[in-house]
Amino acid sequence: MARVLFLGGLGRSGTTLVERLLGELPGVCALGEVVHLWQRDLRDDERCGCGSRFSACVFWRRVGALAFGGWHNVDVDRVRHLRAVVERTRHIPRLATAVEAPDEVHEYADYYTRVYAAAAEVSGARMVVDSSKHSALAHVLRWSAGLDLRVVHVVRDARGVAYSWTKTVDRPETDGAEQMTRYSPGRAALLWNAHNAAFGLLARRGVAVRRIRYEEFLIDPRAAVARLADFAGVAVTPADLDFLHPGHADLTTGHSAAGNPMRFTVGRLPLRRDDAWVSALPRGQRRLVGAVCAPMLRAYGYPLIPAQAQEA
Ligand SMILES: [Zn+2]
């Protein structure tokens, strides 16, 4: 049975950082955001985290061969159709309460399960990490019988998340042709509520969900990574964590299929909390996001007054 650690949460919450650190552990293989593999890699042949085009990456070629007898056997239009039909945030209540899921849900989940199992075998890893983030996908994967699914729900202060969504960020894998999606703070606030609530719902459905706060994770990354490894059932020794130093991590090359530009970082990665929003997010927007997200900010232990948020 394939064991996958699914990193969930709204984008810009620090999931890529968490994934990169977990990917350095022995017995763990980090795959990036597999949700985008079908379009960005199979169709558009974007770059793997190792720098190669997807079609030229030996790791992914072997995964495709093992999972599907070669990627050419995957009907990308079919996967995209399934994604459009089943992987929708508005379907989460139905996916969460259904006694049996429609065939399309099983079919869609099976594509991921095959990728995870093949990646584990090719890499020799005991556990693979998928940082797809999307709550609807996590609810779909719950229905896969061949999967040992564990979910890490990464939460970050909604105001920091909203500020990050306003920024212009290039997508290096498109060689400057495209930028990452942007959302207004009001839109980001609504998405923050919806996605975080969806992971709470997943936990209530009996899925193993561990919630972590981005800000807390960065206070002591060594201890935080060790706790996540324990949650994932991966044994680590203190020496396995020696890539983590005070203030930075030393990263090796990974084979992330898609995701935040940090997936290309090799070598020194600063481990510093990004609190730019405290001074850079305009007061009106800060208050708007704080008001829209107040109940869940409180539930997660975030102070509503920004001055205190800096200390959180
Ligand atoms: Zn690669």
Residues whose Cβ atom is located within 5 A of ion ligand 1: 48, 50, 57, 59, 255
133 CA from centroid of ligand 1 (Å): 21
Cα separation of 264 and 15, whole Å?
A: 14
Q: How far, in Å, CA of 79 to CA of 32, rounded?
A: 18
Taking residues 208-233, what's their average pLDDT? 96
pLDDT digits (tens, 9 = 90+) for 22-79: 999 999 999 999 999 999 999 999 999 999 999 999 999 999 999 999 999 999 999 9
Tell me the CA–centroid distance for residue 57 and ligand 1, in Å.
4
Residue 312 has pLDDT above 50, yes or no: no
State in Å: Cα 254 to ligand 1 middle: 7
* Cα 300 to averaged position of ligand 1 atoms, centre (Å): 36
Burial-class residue 66 by CB neighbours within 10 Å (0-12, 13-18, 19+). Answer: middle
Task: State the Cα–Cα distance between residues 183 and 113, nearest whole angstrom.
Answer: 31
The strand pair at 244-245 and 208-213 is best described as unpaired
Work out the average pLDDT over 10-20: 92
For the chain, the average pLDDT equals 93
**113 CA to centre of ligand 1 in angstroms:** 19
pLDDT digits (tens, 9 = 90+) for 231-280: 999 999 999 999 999 999 999 999 999 988 889 999 999 999 988 999 99
Q: How far is the CA of 52 from the centre of ligand 1 (A)?
A: 6
* Mean pLDDT (whole number) for 139-143: 95
- For 118-138, what is each residue's pLDDT tens digit? 999 999 999 999 999 999 999
Is residue 160 within 8 A of residue 11, CB to CB? The reply is no
| Exposure b/e, 140-156, CB count within 10 A at least 16 = b | bbbbbeebebbbbbbbb
